[in-house]
Structure 1
Amino acid sequence: MNNSGEMKQRIVEKQWAALPQKRSEVHTAAPILEPGKWQQFDPFLLWMEDWFGQGAFGEHPHRGIETVSYVIEGAIEHYDDKGHEGRLEAGDVQWMTAGRGVVHNEIPPKGVTTHLLQLWVNLPAANKMAEPRNQLLKREEIPVRREDGVQIHVISGESGGVKASTLNYAPVTMLEINLDGGASFTQQFAEDHNAFIYILEGRGEFGLDGSVGEKGQLLALSQETEASEIQIQALEEPMKLLLIAGKPLREPIAAHGPFVMNTPEQIVQAYEDFQSGKF
């Protein structure tokens, strides 16, 4: 709150389009939050929109991060070397904590092109070597907040008193927000959280200044050190978006390939451990 007792209002500080790039015959990717801008996106490392079929990916390792896969269309079969496995369909989310190390793969059914978003969340230094875990969040089990003309699926964190059961090592909010044409909604943020919105469908106005965003655009919200909120209104058509927010870790980052640690020496150790079968 500011001195007048009113909630601090966030606005759209930057916005850009996620432009699809063909990676192979079976994989197209659009960077939403591109890697390398750690301080700007903290605690988020990257966010990708992917369209892919069988053969796009092979088994691969991770250490020091969490990966969050949100299926838009199609399906994937997931498995890892810790015995976790499961199937994700449209609206399902997988929240995988790589921690000290995991080898996994995500495979669409034969003949299916799967459309999903994958977010990488940095782990605090104290938790980078945590035991791997896998949270499969089925759509029908994700709690829902309902307002007039608005449905909010609370994947992680909280919205209007509706809380997700998702386990986090550091506070992260992830919401799927669906608005009818002309409907409006206000989301509050805890103090000192970075926040981003990606529009999946439709057009809307965001913040007190009414910044307009549309399908395929990322909106980076103004940074605030105190509790704050953003006003969102769909224009004439329904709008669907994902909102993410997290408290910056403000820790050193060393990253190479699928490993994100705090020092170059830890990256070297990660490769040695992976190659010697110590994951």
Structure 2
Amino acid sequence: MSKQKQHYERGIEDVWSAVKNQIHRGHENSFILEPGPGNWEKYDPFLFLAEDWFQRGSFDTHPHRGIETVTYVMEGVLEHYDSSTNGKDELRAGDAQWMTAGRGVIHKEDPAPGETVHSLQLWVNLPASHKMTEPHYQNLRAETMPVREEEGVSVRIFSGSSGGVQSSTRNIVPVTMLEVTMEAGAVLLQELPSSYNGFIFVLEGEARLGRDRIACGERQAAWLGEGGSGEWSSVRIEAITPLRVLLYAGEPLHEPIAARGPFVMNTEEELRQAYQDYRDGKFI
């Protein structure tokens, strides 16, 4: 473990297990941030995190406005089409995509033929000042992401920073997204701005988290406690067994939310306008 400045060490406010639901024969789903969409104030700036196991045809072409989606692929090959570039691409295991829907985009995510994709998709709220920003995509390939290496610890940095290693991912809302892989017995102290909300989702293994060393196992989520009164805080991750987790943390917006379907705005009037613009063919 590298030497770090003294930070307020966060506790763990809550731990819960993800519940898997059968949507149809080719699609299973879990909402990781319980109880699902709607707990806006607590999880700010995050709207929800969906875990999906799905086959081709589970999701049709659909629009978005007012959000960013962050898709992380754990298994399978995910094909992607978007209207902003009329382009097609694919994500493989370990890759992520950061989509800024902004003023409006139409896209489709579909497993390659014969594939079952296991993915996580996080929705990040956009501030009122950027709800109508120009849409864009960032494909974050696992092999090109910066990595922080320490004894028994590897941190792949999809967004934000870890131990002085910085990602070049462009953010509107400041967000840290890390994939942390650890050997049994290893310890990581991850620094975070004290103002950030955040959580950890365990993909594999068992961990002790936070200043109280709270146990957390596979497919459990842990919401971070408050960050103290200083500028910086830290969260402690200890691997009981070989461990892989995702850490998400971000700056809360403290803005009103009006959400329906694929659109997230600040007022009901803006929501009605989003639907009208989509019907009028104004999304690119």
TM-score, with length taken from structure 2? 0.95
Q: Does 1:203 align with 2:196?
A: no
Q: Is the 8 A contact 2:22 2:28 kept in 1?
A: yes
1:80-159 matches, within 5 Å, as: 80-83=82-85, 84-159=87-162
Q: Is the 8 A contact 2:180 2:245 kept in 1?
A: yes
Counterpart position of 1:13: 13
Q: Secondary structure at the match of 2:32?
A: strand
Shift of 1:218: 0.6
Q: Does 1:173 align with 2:176?
A: yes
Shift of 1:196: 0.4
Q: Which moved more, 1:169-178 or 1:84-93?
A: 84-93
Shift of 1:195: 1.1
1:234-245 matches, within 5 Å, as: 234-235=239-240, 237-245=241-249
Counterpart position of 1:271: 275
Query: 1:65 is matched by which residue type in structure 2?
Result: I
Shift of 1:98: 0.3
Counterpart position of 1:253: 257
Alignment partner of 1:73 out of 65, 72, 75: 75
Q: Secondary structure at the match of 1:196?
A: strand
Q: Does 1:58 align with 2:63?
A: no
Query: 2:132 is matched by which residue type in structure 1?
Result: M
Q: Secondary structure at the match of 1:267?
A: helix
1:217-232 matches, within 5 Å, as: 217-224=220-227, 225-226=229-230, 227-232=232-237
CA distance in 2, matches of 1:42, 1:156: 17
Shift of 1:191: 2.4
Shift of 1:85: 2.5
**1:149-169 deviations in Å (ceiling 9; x for gaps):** 000000000101111110000
TM-score, with length taken from structure 1? 0.96
Query: 1:255 is matched by which residue type in structure 2?
Result: A
Structure 2 stretches lacking a partner, 5+ long = none
Q: Secondary structure at the match of 1:265?
A: helix
**Backbone CA RMSD of aligned residues:** 1.0
Q: Does 1:233 align with 2:231?
A: no
Aligned length: 274
Shift of 1:203: 0.2
**1:62-107 deviations in Å (ceiling 9; x for gaps):** 0000000000000111011112431100000000000000000011
Q: Secondary structure at the match of 1:40?
A: helix
Query: 1:269 is matched by which residue type in structure 2?
Result: Q
Q: Please list every run of at least 4 consecutive aligned residues from structure 1 whose deviation after the TM superposition is greater than 6 angstroms.
A: none
Counterpart position of 1:27: 27
Q: Secondary structure at the match of 1:68?
A: strand
Structure 1 stretches lacking a partner, 5+ long = none
CA distance in 2, matches of 1:89, 1:187: 27
Shift of 1:170: 1.5
CA distance in 2, matches of 1:205, 1:197: 11
CA distance in 2, matches of 1:88, 1:6: 38
Query: 1:89 is matched by which residue type in structure 2?
Result: R
Q: Which moved more, 1:210-219 or 1:220-229?
A: 220-229
Shift of 1:6: 4.0
CA distance in 2, matches of 1:215, 1:126: 38
CA distance in 2, matches of 1:167, 1:102: 18
Q: Secondary structure at the match of 1:173?
A: strand
Q: Secondary structure at the match of 1:82?
A: coil
